[in-house]
């Protein structure tokens, strides 16, 4: 059954050294991490952006915070970790297979240089990135270019995916409506992905430090519109002008925590597919409800009201995908996780309670 969707995944990795220490902005250099990227194969995909500085030439690149001089010339990039981004594919299966293949290539290149890619939603040792030295005049102007530029320091301690979807035939108004729907229901979607129960070296008392800090200040969903479509002013952004022809019509869901493996990403893509197809859910919001995200970040699906609301979204997605067997199968697997009130963070906390060290937990 063809629904006219195309998919992509952008997945952020943290990095451990082989001695168990974290290789982040406090201890690693851009050049060290770029050495891993340099060892990976060149790619030639016109659908992927290279970025203003040309750093994003491959399906893998160093994610970080760029610093500039007074003339706007790049002087350094403080690294956060590495990002994998798939090409655009016509099915969830092809997309997750591409991510798995590229993750395996990254793992080999990183380990050869004493680094181990790991999945976690929040920096487990450092809760904040300090912009040092303070922004100069050019940087202050640059960082006011969008709400996301202004809050870019927050992303330095958080790790997550952009789950990208597009559907043939959706015009600008319909795309905005989808973005507003996903933004409204984000607090009850994200608990399925929670994977950040640690901060400052210990459990913090909840399941998603990433959600507690990030969502509200930064978007839950973002849609990319064509040159003739009306942009919606909001803080954080709901819409952006497409930077490439391939981006026109893209819907990015940005609020999930980074997930280990690829199975859960596939299930979440099917859930988003169903919610985009759904025509029954009434909720709409232009900006995320930060307070609601903070409330769910602690208990996640252990809270009965959250569990009920998430279950209702699974119901709506299933109703919207009759006959789409692969999507329905992935939703059935996701429903099993929901029934167990399970997310990656609950497994991390269980293993931590059994005496697992933090580096060993992250390394799997």
Percentage of residues in the chain having pLDDT higher than 70? 96
pLDDT at 272: 98
pLDDT in the model for residue 47 = 63
pLDDT in tens, 103-152: 999 999 999 999 999 999 999 999 999 999 999 999 999 999 889 999 99
State the Cα–Cα distance between residues 210 and 233, nearest whole angstrom. Answer: 25
What's this model's pTM, rounded to 2 decimal places? 0.96
DSSP 50-118: --TTS---SSEEEEEEEEE-TTS-EEEEEEEEEEEEPPPBSSHHHHHHHHHHHHHHHHHHHHTTTEEEE
Q: What is the pLDDT of residues 326-360, one digit of tens each?
A: 999 999 999 999 999 999 999 999 999 998 778 77
Confidence tier at 235 by pLDDT (50, 70, 90): very high
DSSP per-residue codes, 323-342: T-HHHHHHHHHHHHHHHTT-
Q: Which domains does the chain have, with CATH numbers?
A: 5-356 (3.30.590.20)
First vs last C-alpha separation in the chain: 37
Q: What gap in Å lies between CA 313 and CA 190, rounded to an integer?
A: 11
DSSP three-state, residue 244: coil
pLDDT recorded at residue 42: 87
Mean pLDDT of 60-79: 96
Q: Tell whether the model's pLDDT for residue 52 goes beyond 70.
A: no
Answer whether residue 217 shows pLDDT above 90. Answer: yes
pLDDT value at residue 55: 54
Answer yes or no: is pLDDT of 283 > 90. yes
Q: Count CA within 13 A, CB hemisphere, residue 33.
A: 27
Q: What percent of the chain stands above pLDDT 90?
A: 89
SS3 per-residue string spanning 218-231: ECCEEEEECCCCCC
Residue 76: predicted pLDDT: 96
- Return the bridge partners of 22, or none: 16
Secondary structure letter of residue 130 according to DSSP: -
Handedness of CA 307, 310, 315, 316 (dihedral sign): positive
Q: What is the chain's mean pLDDT, rounded? A: 94
Position 29 confidence tier, pLDDT thresholds 50, 70, 90: very high
By CB atoms closer than 10 A (0-12, 13-18, 19+), residue 42 is exposed
What does the pLDDT read at residue 49? Answer: 56
């Amino acid at each position: 059954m063809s629904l006219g969707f195309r998919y992509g995944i952008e997945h952020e990795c943290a990095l451990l050294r082989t001695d168990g220490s974290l290789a982040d902005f406090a201890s690693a250099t851009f050049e060290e991490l770029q050495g891993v990227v340099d060892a990976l194969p060149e790619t030639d995909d016109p659908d992927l952006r290279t970025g203003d500085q040309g750093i994003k030439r491959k399906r893998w690149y160093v994610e970080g915070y760029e610093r500039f001089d007074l003339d706007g010339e790049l002087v350094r990039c403080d690294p956060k970790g590495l990002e994998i981004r798939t090409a655009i594919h016509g099915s969830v299966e092809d997309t997750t297979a591409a991510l798995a293949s590229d993750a395996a290539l990254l793992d080999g290149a990183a380990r050869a240089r004493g680094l181990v890619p790991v999945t976690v939603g929040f920096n487990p040792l450092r809760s904040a990135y300090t912009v040092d030295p303070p922004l100069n005049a050019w940087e202050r102007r640059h960082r006011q270019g969008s709400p996301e530029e202004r809050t870019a320091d927050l992303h330095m301690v958080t790790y997550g995916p952009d789950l990208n979807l597009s559907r043939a035939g959706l015009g600008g108004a319909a795309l905005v409506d989808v973005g507003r729907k996903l933004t409204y229901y984000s607090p009850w979607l994200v608990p399925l992905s929670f994977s950040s129960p640690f901060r400052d070296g210990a459990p913090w008392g909840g399941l998603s430090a990433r959600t507690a800090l990030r969502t509200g200040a930064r978007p839950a969903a973002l849609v990319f519109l064509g040159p003739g479509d009306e942009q919606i002013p909001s803080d954080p952004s709901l819409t952006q002008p497409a930077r490439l022809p391939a981006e026109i019509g893209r819907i990015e869901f940005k609020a999930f925590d980074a997930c280990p493996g690829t199975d859960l990403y596939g299930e979440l893509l099917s859930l988003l597919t169903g919610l985009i197809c759904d025509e029954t859910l009434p909720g709409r919001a232009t900006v995320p409800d930060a307070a609601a995200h903070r409330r769910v970040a602690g208990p996640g699906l252990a809270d009965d009201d959250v569990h009920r609301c998430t279950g209702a979204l699974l119901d709506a997605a299933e109703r919207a995908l009759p006959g789409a067997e692969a999507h329905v199968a992935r939703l059935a697997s996701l429903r099993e996780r929901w029934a167990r009130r399970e997310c990656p963070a609950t497994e991390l906390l269980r293993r931590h309670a059994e005496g697992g060290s933090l580096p060993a937990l992250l390394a799997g």
